[in-house]
A and B are shown apart, each in its own frame.
Chain A
Amino acid sequence: MGKFFGSSVTKKFVMAVAGLFIILFLMVHLGINFFLLIDDPVPFNSAAHFMATNIIVKVFEVVLMAGFLIHMIWGVVLQIQNWVARPKRYKRTSSSQTSFFSKYMIYLGIIIAVFLFIHFMNFYFVKLGLVEGDHENFHLMANNLFHLPLYVVIYLVSFLFLAFHLHHAFQSAFQTLGLNHNKYTPVIKGIGLIYSIIVPLGFSIIPIVIYFFK
């Protein structure tokens, strides 16, 4: 088993599975977030309450956090190996035709990790009781937060970088898993493009609406 996880191919396998799991989770997260657009705090707060207490969700939460950690650790390890593999760079840098954002995944990832920390300070750590706050009224917390321009900007910029990460990530994960097919790969790329636009855009709508209209 140790050998299985050690190879270049399996590290990417684990990253891809973890990444796809996070991709699924993001859709659930976004779905719940839309309750924030309703003035009545009850639907959002009960959804948040459900997410915080339901036993199955709790299991998923552990898996998700482990997924984030593994994805980040392998991401950094692979990147360091990749830099080491070319100790001397080219003078004229590559102008080969490539998947554009693939070259910046580590930087995009680090930005997302920093955002995650801020985001956890705002919400998740409050839920865990690590940071002070009213963990029965996340609706109010979100409304307060997104009246601060600084946070609106931080969230919006982070979602943009998330979109860039996802644009390469979605189709890349399928290729890593060995799913490359003349007919279906263009479809996967299409879905990935749509996903990487729609989901970050959906997340962005919420702070914007709260800031300007609530």
Chain B
Amino acid sequence: MKLTLKIWRQKNADAKGKFITYDFDAASPDMSFLEMLDALNTKLIKERTDPVAFDHDCREGICGSCGIYINGHPHGPGKKAITTCHLSMREFKDGDTVYVEPWRAKAFPVVKDLIVDRTAFDKIQIAGGFISTNVGSAPDSHAIPVEKSKADEAFDSAICIGCGACVAACKNASAMLFVSAKISQFALLPQGRIEAKERVQTMVKKMDELGFGNCSNTGACEAECPKEISLVNIARMNREFYWAKIQ
């Protein structure tokens, strides 16, 4: 299939960057989007030009490193709940024009082309996204009883892969879905309750400091999240935050 690719090219963090148009006819509907980019890069390398830089690692939807804004959607159009590496070229038609952009947020500066620096997420995690425990051998299973429904809910939050699509999708570049998932995975479990009060405050504070926007309850994050993290998490984070402040 033949595609007109309009790809954001930017040499480095300080460079201005612009869209470059590539007429690419070696794409196949059997490729994944990243395989299509690989094919494009092979061609660019053969032509002795700079290949398009993009992030990827596992290519099976679990590491969270891939993330490209394609035709108005983080992780691309079509099927819901997928990462860019799971995006199939079947979602595109022969002759389509495809806009390929990096995540856009003040807190995620572009490193090169489609790669952005997501250190901001790490900083939020470092601010409180952990539990303090004595290291040693693994504790006995079921030493602390947890209700099955709570464990399931905590798991639903814990599957956030930190890809940043929520920030990319949000009109305000807000990180609330990510932060609320990272808070919820602990807030729902007894092990996490111990530090819950400090955690929600330090993580929200860090999130604000790093220049992410505020939540307008628009819901774009939930719609685009590859792991279907729900807005219920944001409501929970807000509740946790108010209680922590009142106490």
Contacts and interface: CB of A to CB of B under 8 A. Distances in A.
Given A85-B172, A90-B101, A91-B101, A175 B217 contact: yes
Interface residues of A, number: 41
Given A10-B245, A85-B105, A92 B219 contact: no
B237 to A, nearest CB: 7
B104 interface: yes
Nearest to A89: B104
Contacts of A78: 214
A8 B210 CA distance: 12
19 contacts: A8-B204, A10-B241, A12-B238, A13-B238, A81-B213, A81-B214, A82-B172, A85-B107, A86-B105, A86-B172, A90-B69, A94-B220, A96-B169, A98-B218, A105-B216, A172-B216, A175-B234, A175-B235, A178-B238
A84 B211 contact: yes
B207 interface: yes
Given A86-B171, A95-B72, A178-B239, 12 more contacts: A7-B204, A8-B174, A9-B238, A12-B215, A85-B174, A90-B69, A96-B72, A97-B223, A98-B220, A105-B216, A175-B231, A178-B242
A95 to B, nearest CB: 4
A102 interface: yes
Nearest to A100: B218
A102 B213 contact: no
A92 B72 contact: yes
Nearest to A87: B106
- The CB with the most chain A CB atoms within 10 A, among B107, B208, B217, B242, is that of B217
B107 to A, nearest CB: 7
B42 interface: no
A11 interface: yes
Contact of A94 (B169, B176, B212, B245): B169
Nearest to B233: A180
B71 interface: yes
Interface string B138-176: 000000000000000000000000000000010111101
Interface string A118-155: 00000000000000000000000000000000000000
Interface residues of B, number: 48
B6 interface: yes
A179 B204 contact: no
A53 interface: no
Contact of A8 (B72, B101, B207, B220): B207
Contacts of A160: none
A91 B238 contact: no
Contacts of A95: 71-73, 77
B163 to A, nearest CB: 15
A176 interface: yes
Given A81-B213, A86-B106, A7 B219 contact: no
B232 interface: yes
B6 A179 contact: no
Contacts of A89: 104
Given A8-B208, A88-B104, A179 B220 contact: no
